[in-house]
Amino acid sequence: MRKKIFYNFAIIGLGMVGTAIGHLLKEAGHEIVAISDKSVKSLNNALRYTGGKTYLSQRKSIANADCILITTPDDFILTVCEEISHSEAIAGKFVFHMSGAGSLDLLEPAKKAGAFIASIHPVQSFSSIANAIQSIPGSVFGITAEKKAEKQAKEIVVDLGGIPFFISPRQKPLYHAAACLASNYLVALLYSVELIYQSVGINESNARRAYLPLVYGTLKNIEKSGSIQALTGPIARGDSGTVQKHIAAIKETLPHFLPLYSTLGLITNNIAQKKGTLNSQQAKIINKFLKGAIDHEHSK
């Protein structure tokens, strides 16, 4: 059995994710030797979770670290990497960022300076530091790494309680788009549901009371049986009359939601056929109504 290796970490960018990651790494036995942020408030808030020495200077923060985690917003990763790459101490260290969409190009200055680079991204959303600390363990992490950093990236993910999954640079934008659909666009979808409920006089609070049990039940069905078998509703039943009524009501009252309803309806139609509850003739009829609604909006 191989002896477990513990690393000294420097974390640059102490928002929710950076702070939570630092805390979890510390709990796993690693040492957070340095934390760096432009905000003194963020540093002081993070310190109680991570320990380590605080730095306003990013370049100075990396001197005693084996691994450097850049957990800033995506737009600042390259700038931070360029800054720390001016330090002679960068050579031979591991430098990671945690962007879902960002490529390894963001870490190219570190690589040129002799560091080994990778990206580790948790497929998870966070509303607070405490929520992040609780949610990260058990989450899948997409890893994109050069060969010399693959082993270390995987070890870090495992120590965070995560499930490592390797993603090529070419695959990464699609991988991240899927995560955005699952999380960000789910929020947008449910916000749309609230607005439709409000249009019939149900306030925001009662709207959530109405749809959240439905959403939770659907998620449980997906977890148990998969997305195809979890599908229910009028399209799954081949109820074209109900679909027509939906289209007419939305067109009259909330026409800007018609493309959303119809586009998702077309996808639902395909799923229903895969489930086997919708025959080709029923699917053709429903497709005609849905495509007609989309064409009607586009022709305006």
Domain borders along the chain are 8-168, 182-298
Q: What is the pLDDT of residue 296?
A: 67
Q: What is the pLDDT of residue 1?
A: 45
Q: What is the pLDDT of residue 187?
A: 96
Q: What is the pLDDT of residue 2?
A: 52
pLDDT < 50 stretches in the chain: 1
pTM of the model: 0.85
Would you list the DSSP string of the chain?
Answer: -PPPP--EEEEE--SHHHHHHHHHHHHTT-EEEEEE-S-HHHHHHHHHHH-SEEES-HHHHTTT-SEEEE-S-HHHHHHHHHHHTTSGGGTT-EEEE--SS--GGGGHHHHHTT-EEEEEEES---SSHHHHHHHSTT-EEEEEE-GGGHHHHHHHHHHTT-EEEE--TTTHHHHHHHHHHHTHHHHHHHHHHHHHHHHTT--HHHHHHHHHHHHHHHHHHHHHH-HHHH--SHHHHT-HHHHHHHHHHHHHH-GGGHHHHHHHHHHHHHHHHHHTSS-HHHHHHHHHHHHHHHHHHHT-
Q: In CATH, what is the architecture of 8-168? A: 3-Layer(aba) Sandwich (3.40)
